Structure 1
């Protein structure tokens, strides 16, 4: 049965311009885009129409499933709660990050990750979700159980991305050792001596496991067609290693040097949208806004605040003179789709999926009014 509707009187954010006009949807796809107004159709009252946002790395699901120490929520209910917040933030495609390889402070285990993966896949099959969900395996390569955990999850059909990360002391995330000490001593609630022993243990694990795990997971991902990402690269040597391993996305580089080298090597540079909105990194690393100003930023991720994705796009177009709203919107839609080979979405164009978001901006903050996924209203 033909399903068709028109959205009129909208400011439509296209790839390279904002068009005041109307948009026609037919059978879940964008059928026509036209200048000016029409008589028929739902009145958007001059609001923006953006593409549905595409989120490649969010750690947000785990907090719904394990909201308190020793508490586990029903996994299907947790996925639905997470999905509702994702969709209400204008995200229509999301890659949910699951831990692979666990460090000492993680309370959740690999069986918890399998439970969540099953809940996502089951909820997708049964059409319970508003956004479309894929799986992103965030592999802690310094962990002794990394390969075992990866082998248990790599075969899930919704796995489309994996990132290689090493959070051991002296590695990538914290360019400033003092920032690392303050962050982890507060997180682990340890004494100086306990923290020293913790660091020694983690560094030994990294030395023992990281190289072999990186190589094995890279090989498995290439064989399965899973997109690979590096994580927290800090040096040019890190980037060179990523290129050798066939990495396509550089997640959260911590320095200007690593971001510039990644860009020059043809990797898609991904940074955190909270970094943009806050004006800097919480761990003292490179500013995403500065990378955007220098042309070294390709993709934004909401990371731990789903709404920051839409917020950062409008914010960047306001505070960085050289970045237009269509350019900023590509950081949260088309560029993300291109990086992972989703060529049916990520922009408002004839023939693409009708993943759309109606947005009004009040006092510099976007207000999500309506969300459509493949032409069906989900918010």
Structure 2
């Protein structure tokens, strides 16, 4: 399906040179320089490039609405895609854990999620991109991982380390261990033993990563590190060839990434909340210092749009610059040269906001409507 052929007129449009009133035309799924002949008056609306969400795990509640209800994986992905579209997302990275935590974050569940994404990607309108969040202490999985990501159709891997190393080094059980174990379907004592064993093998992790990362690189896998805490952390990952810093926890880590030309992804909920819920560096401060390339939904799909609007209202940057953190910036990080801005020949990925409440009125992905509501639907029908 090639989608609609329309000339959008009367709206304020974010063109590469800024926001101004003008015509935006598209046909056969791409932006066109010339009119296509069917006009829709969008006076009172703001037309922006579609949101490219670089990291979102808000789909978990769709795949597993309650414990034990994890049977309809495909239906869950379809439902999550509808929420992405309703929030202006035209390209959504679905970030799935591959973790010792088990349950919804365990390797077996990850395999089912990636299979479901693969099964529906060609059926839904939003472009869905699977991301593997790999816990680096899972040494027993390293050998098979390159073949697994190829089988799953995953080309974006982010490395995590969520083990509570400080407490484990002291021989102390982490808080909420029992609840975590039960969610994973494990005996709490067995879970405690697993954490201790994974921590004990930590000295073997760097050498294993030094072997794994080149193998993934050779397969064309894009890679990032999650929650870098220090400049040294970022330098270590960069030396391996991992050039995306996802949610750096400190200014030093973000600055180190920026100074070496690495890409920095920040959490949109951090902007909306006015700070990190874990006490890490403020995304607003990092953006103000020029240390952010993109904003991602993290755990809340409405947050990217809200974050861009808040940055503009607060005067930290204009709306055009703020919105590029959701569109052009993420496109460059993912190497998606066909989207992220309105230029002739680019994908017709569009989000339309009502200028009154700035809520999403319509979302178009590659020229196909994925979401529409209210007055704009009436204008399109007319």
Tell me, yes or no, if structure 1 residue 349 matches structure 2 residue 343: yes
What secondary structure, in the 3-state scheme, does the structure 2 residue paired with 1:155 have? helix
Structure 1: gaps spanning 5 or more residues: 172-179
What is aligned with 1:371? 363
- Whole-angstrom CA distance in 2 between matches of 1:289 and 1:225: 32
1:332 aligned to which of 317, 326, 348: 326
Shift of 1:265: 0.9
User: What is the deviation of 1:108?
Assistant: 4.5
Offset at residue 72 of structure 1 (A): 0.7
Match of 1:112, SS? helix
Q: How far apart in 2 are the matches of 1:168 and 1:271? A: 22
In the alignment, which residue of structure 1 is the partner of 2:81? 83
Are 2:228 and 1:233 equivalent residues in the alignment?
Answer: yes
Counterparts of 1:16-35 in structure 2, within 5 Å, are 16-32=17-33
Give SS of 2:138's match: coil
Instruction: Give me the whole-angstrom Cα distance separating, in 1, the residues matched to 2:277 and 2:155.
Output: 28
Whether the 8 Å contact between 2:125 and 2:368 is mirrored in structure 1 is no
Q: What is the CA–CA distance in structure 1 between the aligned matches of 2:7 and 2:200, rounded to whole Å?
A: 58
Question: Whole-Å Cα distance in 2 between the matches of residues 42 and 6 of structure 1?
Answer: 6
Answer whether contact 2:118 2:153 (CA < 8 A) is retained.
yes
How far the C-alpha of 1:231 sits from its partner, in A, is 1.0
Kept in 2: contact 1:232–1:253 (CA 8 A): yes
C-alpha change, 1:105 and 1:202, in structure 2 (3 Å) is farther
Alignment match of 1:306 (pick from 296, 301, 309): 301
Question: Do the aligned residues in 1 keep the contact of 2:11 with 2:22 (CA within 8 Å)?
Answer: yes
C-alpha change, 1:41 and 1:78, in structure 2 (3 Å) is same
Whole-angstrom distance in 1 between the partners of 2:368 and 2:217: 34
> Quick check: 1:120 aligned with 2:112?
no
Say if 1:87 and 1:62 are closer, same or farther in 2 by CA, change over 3 A: same
User: Match of 1:154, SS?
Assistant: helix
Match in the other structure for 1:260: 255
The CA distance in 2 between the partners of 1:107 and 1:8, in whole Å, is 46
Q: Work out the CA distance in 2 between the residues paired with 1:146 and 1:107.
A: 18
- Sort the Cα spacing of 1:199 and 1:252 in 2 relative to 1 into closer, same or farther, 3 A: farther
What does residue 53 of structure 2 align with? 55
Q: CA deviation at 1:144?
A: 3.9
- Secondary structure in 1 matching 2:43: coil
Deviation at 1:26, TM superposition (A): 1.9
TM-score by length of 2: 0.85
TM-score relative to the length of structure 1? 0.86
* Distance change in 2, residues 1:206/1:288 (3 Å): farther
Distance 1:159 1:200 in 2: 27
Root-mean-square deviation (CA, aligned residues, Å) is 3.0
> Residue 7 of structure 2 contacts residue 37 of structure 2 at CA under 8 Å; is this kept in 1?
no
Question: What's 1:318 paired with?
Answer: 313
Give 5+ residue unaligned stretches, structure 2.
167-172, 183-187, 372-382
Aligned residues: 360
Q: Structure 1 CA distance, aligned partners of 2:46 and 2:270?
A: 24
The structural deviation recorded for 1:295 is 0.7
